[in-house]
Amino acid sequence: MGAETDSNMLMKKKLAKILKDTLDLCFRKGFLKQMPIPEFVVEVPNNPDHGHFATNVPMTLAGEQKSSPRNIAEIIIRHLVDHDHFILKAGIGGTGFINFFIAPGQWYDLLSHIINLRDDYGRSSIGRGEKIMVEFVSANPTGPLHLGHGRGAALGDTLCRVLDFSGYDVKREFYINDAGHQIKMLGESIYSRWKQFPDPSYPFPLDGYQGDYIQELAVEIAKETQLESLAPHEAIDLLSELGKDKILKEIKEDLANFGVTFDLWYKESDLYSSGKIDRAIKLIEKRGMLFEKDGASWIRTSLFGDDKDRVVRKKDGEFTYFASDISYHLDKWKRGFKRVINIWGADHHGYITRVKAALEAEGIQQDWLEVLLIQLVKLWERGAEVRMSKRSGRYVTLKELVDQVGVDAVRFVFLSKDHTSPLDFHIDLVKRKDSENPVYYVQYAHARVCSVFKKAARENIHLPEEPDSILLRLVLDEEIDLIRKMAEFPSLIEEIAGDLGPHRLTYYLTELAGSFHRYYNRHRIVSDDRTLSQARLFLSLGIKILIKNGLSLLGVSAPEVM
C-alpha cells in the first residue's frame, strides 16, 4: 500500500524532489553558490493564473546568494531536472515565486489511480503501526452527556478514524470516574428524591445533582428493588451502584447512536481494586518524589514546571483524584503506547501541567502526552443564548440535540470549527434541512454524482474497468482543477494526523463539493458524445470517492439519494 500511495499522492513532494535535484545540479555546475538548501514550501496558489503549484525557493535563497529572487528563479527554471516531463511549463511570478503547470498526463494518471484505490485513496502507512491511544469524552457517570461531550466525542472519534487511516494502531478509551465522592453524591441525590416522593420536605444534599433524570432514576430503581427494606446507608450504596450503571448504559447508547465506540471503558475503581494506585505511589516514593507534610502525602511536581507540589493522599488517608489520574496514565505508559492524546474540556486546562509534571517525576517525557482542550459550546435558539448550568441541572443533552437535528449535521458542525475556539451552535440554522445547512451541500454533491450515474445507465453508457485514453478528453481547466483538488486529499490527511485539526477536512470537502457543483452547472456530464461522457463520468466518480472517503472520516453518511 505504501508504495502505491507514494507513486502519486505526492505531487508536491515530486516537485520538491525536482527542486532539490535542480539545486544540487546548479551547485555542482556553479550556476549558484554552494549552500545548504533552506526550508521551502510547495503550495497551491489561490490564483489559478499562478499555476497548479508554486514555490518560494528563489526567495529563500536570495539573501545567501546575494542575488535577486527573480534572477535565481530564472536560473532554476533553465536547469530544471525533470527527466519524466512532469512539468508542462514553469514561470516566474510576483517577487520571485516559481509557478508550475503540471503535464496533463500526470493528472490523468492520478485520476486513474484514485479510481483504482477507491475507499483506500488517502490511506497511508505513515503511522507505521505505532501504538497510539486517544482518550476522550470520559464523562462522569453522574448525568447525561451534554453538548461539550458531544464536541469532544466528534473530535476524538474523527481523530481516531484519521489516525487509523494513516497507519497508526489506534486504541480509543473512555475513562470512567466511578470511584469516590461524586458517585456517593449521586446515590445520595437519588435517595433524597426517592424520600421526597412521600415527604417533599426531605432535605436534598447541598451539592447534589439537580437534573430531572435523578427523579426518573429514583422511580425506576424503586420499582426494581426493595429500597424500603434497606438501611439508609445500604440504600444509598445500592442507588450509587445502580444509578451509575444506568447512566453509563445511557452514555454508551448515546455515543453509539452518535457513531462513536470505544475499545476500552477503563474504570477508575479498577485502579483501586487492582492495587495499581498503591504501586504508582510506591514508584513515586522510590524515585524520591514523595514527601509527607501536614499529615498528607505530596508529589514534587513543582520540580517539573508545576506551580506547587500536589497532594496524592489526603490527611484522611484517601487518595486524591489526582493520584488515580497519575496511576491511570502510568498504566497507559506501561501498556506500551508511544503517543497518547487526551481530549479534555477547556475547564480542565489547569490540570495539564500538573499531570505532565507528575509523569516526568516518574521518568516519562512530557511530550508523550498531548492534551487537546475543547472550548465551550454555546447553544442559541431563536436568537438568544440558551443558558446552561450543570449545577442547576438545566442543560441541553447531546441526545436531545441529535434527536432534533440528526447525527450528520451535529457532527459536521462540531467538526467544522477548530477545537481551540468557542463554538456557537445555532440550533435553528442547523435544524433546517435546506441549503443553509453546510452538511447537505457536501452530501448533495455525492447524491448528485449518483444521480448522474443513473442517468448514464438509462442512456446505456457504462464505464470500462480502466479509463486508459478516455481521460484525454478532459481538457477543460475546471476538469484539471478538480483533479488537482483531489490530489490534495492524501497530504491533507497526513497533515491532520500530525496537527490533529480535522476541521480542515470539512472545509476541504465543502470546497471540493463547491467546485463540482459549479462544474455540473456549466457542463453536461452525460451527452451525445459517448467518450466525453465516459471521461466526465470518471471524473465524477473520483469526486464521489473523495466525498465518501472524507465524510466517512468525519463519521457523516454519504447518501445516494437526497
Partner RNA sequence: GCGCCUGUAGCUCAGCUGGAUAGAGCAGCGGACUUCUAAUCCGCAGGUCGCAGGUUCGAAUCCUGCCAGGCGUACCA
Q: Is 370 helix (H, G, I), strand (E, B) or coil?
A: strand
- Whole-number minimum distance, CB 199 to RNA, in Å? 28
How far, in whole angstroms, is CA 381 from its chain's centroid? 27
Under the binding rule (CB under 7 A), the answer on residue 273 touching RNA is no
- Whole-number minimum distance, CB 201 to RNA, in Å? 27
Of positions 372, 452, 497, 551, contacts RNA by CB under 7 A: 452
Q: Return the bridge partners of 43, or none.
A: 54
CA distances from 134 to 77, 128, 350, 372 (A): 46, 17, 20, 10
CB–CB of 538/115 below 8 Å? yes
Of positions 434, 465, 477, 528, contacts RNA by CB under 7 A: 434
Q: Is 24 helix (H, G, I), strand (E, B) or coil?
A: helix
Question: What mask of x and - would describe binding to RNA in positions 461 to 490, judged by CB under 7 A?
Answer: ------------------------------
Nearest residue to 12 via CA among 37, 50, 41, 47 = 41
Under the binding rule (CB under 7 A), the answer on residue 283 touching RNA is no
- Whole-number minimum distance, CB 141 to RNA, in Å? 10
Question: What mask of x and - would describe binding to RNA in positions 27 to 66, judged by CB under 7 A?
Answer: --------------x-xxxxx-xxx--x-x--xx-xx---
CA–CA gap between residue 416 and residue 413 (Å, rounded): 5
- Whole-number minimum distance, CB 421 to RNA, in Å? 5
Direct distance between the N- and C-terminal alpha carbons of the chain, in angstroms, rounded to an integer: 34
DSSP letters, 282-334, are HHHHHTT-EEEETTEEEE-GGGGT-SS-EEEE-TTSPBPHHHHHHHHHHHHHH
- Whole-number minimum distance, CB 149 to RNA, in Å? 15
- Whole-number minimum distance, CB 514 to RNA, in Å? 5
CB–CB of 56/109 below 8 Å? no
Shorter beta-carbon distance to RNA: residue 118 or 433: 433
Stretch touching RNA by CB under 7 A, among 2-10, 106-114, 392-400, 428-436:
428-436
C-alpha cell at 188: 445520595
Shorter beta-carbon distance to RNA: residue 190 or 452: 452
DSSP state of 30: T
- Whole-number minimum distance, CB 504 to RNA, in Å? 5
Shorter beta-carbon distance to RNA: residue 184 or 338: 184
- Whole-number minimum distance, CB 26 to RNA, in Å? 18
- Please report, as residue ranges, which positions from 284 to 343 form the binding site for RNA (by CB under 7 A): 293-296, 307, 310-311, 314-316, 318, 320-322
Shorter beta-carbon distance to RNA: residue 195 or 310: 310
Under the binding rule (CB under 7 A), the answer on residue 367 touching RNA is no
C-alpha cell at 297: 502525602
- Please report, as residue ranges, which positions from 220 to 249 form the binding site for RNA (by CB under 7 A): none
Shorter beta-carbon distance to RNA: residue 62 or 235: 62
CB–CB of 122/493 below 8 Å? yes
DSSP letters, 230-254, are S-HHHHHHHHHHHHHHHHHHHHHHH
Assign residue 180 a region (left: φ > 0; alpha: ψ between -120 and 50; beta: otherwise). left
Shorter beta-carbon distance to RNA: residue 105 or 501: 501
CB–CB of 549/119 below 8 Å? yes
Shorter beta-carbon distance to RNA: residue 193 or 448: 448
Shorter beta-carbon distance to RNA: residue 213 or 412: 412
Shorter beta-carbon distance to RNA: residue 77 or 179: 179
Per the listing, cell 446505456 goes with 460
- Please report, as residue ranges, which positions from 176 to 205 form the binding site for RNA (by CB under 7 A): 177, 179-182
DSSP state of 39: P
- Please report, as residue ranges, which positions from 101 to 160 form the binding site for RNA (by CB under 7 A): 140
Phi, psi of 8 (to 5 degrees): -145, -30
Contacts of 204 (CB under 8 A, 6+ apart): 189, 192, 193, 196
Under the binding rule (CB under 7 A), the answer on residue 517 touching RNA is yes
CB–CB of 48/100 below 8 Å? no
Stretch touching RNA by CB under 7 A, among 238-246, 346-354, 394-402, 471-479:
346-354
Of positions 17, 118, 348, 387, contacts RNA by CB under 7 A: 348
Of positions 95, 116, 392, 531, contacts RNA by CB under 7 A: 95
C-alpha cell at 500: 490533529
Under the binding rule (CB under 7 A), the answer on residue 529 touching RNA is no
- Please report, as residue ranges, which positions from 492 to 511 form the binding site for RNA (by CB under 7 A): 495, 498-499, 501, 503-504, 507, 510
- Whole-number minimum distance, CB 166 to RNA, in Å? 15
Instruction: For residue 264, give the amino acid letter.
Output: L
Binding-site size, RNA (CB under 7 A): 97
Of positions 122, 127, 438, 467, contacts RNA by CB under 7 A: 438
Under the binding rule (CB under 7 A), the answer on residue 210 touching RNA is no
Shorter beta-carbon distance to RNA: residue 315 or 335: 315
CA distances from 439 to 401, 452, 464, 551 (A): 16, 20, 32, 10
CA–CA gap between residue 283 and residue 278 (Å, rounded): 9
- Whole-number minimum distance, CB 43 to RNA, in Å? 5
- Please report, as residue ranges, which positions from 393 to 422 form the binding site for RNA (by CB under 7 A): 416-418, 420-422
Under the binding rule (CB under 7 A), the answer on residue 389 touching RNA is no
CA–CA gap between residue 429 and residue 467 (Å, rounded): 42
Shorter beta-carbon distance to RNA: residue 365 or 521: 521
Q: Is the dihedral of CA 16, 22, 25, 26 positive or negative?
A: negative
CB–CB of 295/315 below 8 Å? yes
CA–CA gap between residue 167 and residue 490 (Å, rounded): 13
Please count the other Cβ atoms lying within 10 Å of the Cβ belonging to residue 196.
15
- Whole-number minimum distance, CB 124 to RNA, in Å? 16
Under the binding rule (CB under 7 A), the answer on residue 349 touching RNA is yes
Stretch touching RNA by CB under 7 A, among 240-248, 283-291, 362-370, 437-445:
437-445
Of positions 88, 103, 230, 450, contacts RNA by CB under 7 A: 450
